[in-house]
Amino acid sequence: MCGIAGFLDRNCNSSKEILINMTNSLENRGPDDHGHVVIESDSYQVGLGHRRLSIIDLSQFGHQPYTFEHLQLVFNGEIYNYMEVREQLTKVGYSFQSTSDTEVIIKNIHYKGLKNALADFIGMFAFALFDSSTEKLFLTRDRAGVKPLYYYHKDKMLLFASELKAFHQSPRFEKALNTDALSLYFTYSYIPVPHTIFQNAYKLEPGHYLEVSVSTGELKKEKYWDIFDAYNKPKLNIDYEEAKEELTKLMLDSFQLRMVADVPVGIFLSGGYDSTAVAALLQQNSSSKLKTFTIGFEDKGFDEAPYARKVADYLGTEHHEHYCTYKDARDIIPKIPEIFDEPFGDNSVIPTLLVSQMAVKEVKVALSADGGDELFCGYPKFTNALKYTGKIPKTLQKAASGVMSMVNPQVFPRKKETYNFDQRYLKMQEIWQNQDPVEAMITISKFNVKSTIDDWILAEHKDAISYFKSSNSLNRENDAINKMLAIDYKTFLLDNNLTKVDRCTMSVSLEGREPFLDHRLNEMIAQLPSSYKYHDGVTKRILKDIVHNAVPKNLMERPKMGFVVPIMDWFKNDLKEITTNYLSDEKLKQDDLLNYKQIGKLRDSYLNGTAENVQRIWHLLVFQMWREKWM
On the question of pLDDT at 58 being above 70, the answer is: no
Tens-digit pLDDT profile for residues 175-212: 999 999 999 999 999 999 999 999 999 999 999 999 99
Q: Determine the pLDDT at residue 326.
A: 79
Taking Cα atoms as reference points, which of 194, 190, 216 lies closest to residue 203? 194
Distance CA 28, CA 510 (A): 9
pTM of the model: 0.95
Q: What percent of the chain has pLDDT above 90? A: 82
Average pLDDT over residues 35-41: 95
* 390-422 burial: b if 16+ Cβ within 10 Å, else e: eeeeeeebeeebeebeeeeeeeeeeeeeeebbb
Which burial class, exposed, middle or buried, applies to 104 when counting CB atoms under 10 A from its CB (0-12, 13-18, 19+)?
A: buried
On the question of pLDDT at 229 being above 60, the answer is: yes
Distance CA 94, CA 110 (A): 10
Sheet holding 219-223, edge to edge: 66-68, 71-79, 123-131, 136-141, 208-213, 219-223
Distance CA 358, CA 589 (A): 39
- Residue 5: CA count within 13 A, CB half-sphere: 28
Return phi, psi of residue 365, to 5°: -135, 135
Helix (H, G, I), strand (E, B) or coil at 151: strand
Distance CA 347, CA 189 (A): 10
Mean per-residue pLDDT of the chain:
93
Characterize the bridge pairing of strands 511-513 and 365-367: parallel
Distance CA 38, CA 463 (A): 39
User: Could you tell me which CATH number the domain at 2-225 has?
Assistant: 3.60.20.10
Class of domain 229-320+348-377+484-556: alpha beta
Distance CA 335, CA 503 (A): 12
Helices and strands counted in the chain (H then E): 27, 17
Tens-digit pLDDT profile for residues 61-115: 668 899 999 999 999 999 999 999 999 999 999 999 998 999 999 999 999 999 9
Same fold, 2-225 and 229-320+348-377+484-556: no
Q: How confident is the model at residue 57 (pLDDT cuts 50, 70, 90)?
A: low
On the question of pLDDT at 240 being above 90, the answer is: yes
Active site residues: 2
Q: How confident is the model at residue 54 (pLDDT cuts 50, 70, 90)?
A: low
Distance CA 375, CA 547 (A): 15
Tens-digit pLDDT profile for residues 597-608: 999 999 998 898
Characterize the bridge pairing of strands 2-9 and 45-52: antiparallel
**Which sequence spans correspond to the domains of the chain?**
2-225, 229-320+348-377+484-556
Tens-digit pLDDT profile for residues 536-548: 999 999 999 999 9
Tens-digit pLDDT profile for residues 549-584: 999 999 998 766 555 566 667 787 778 888 999 999
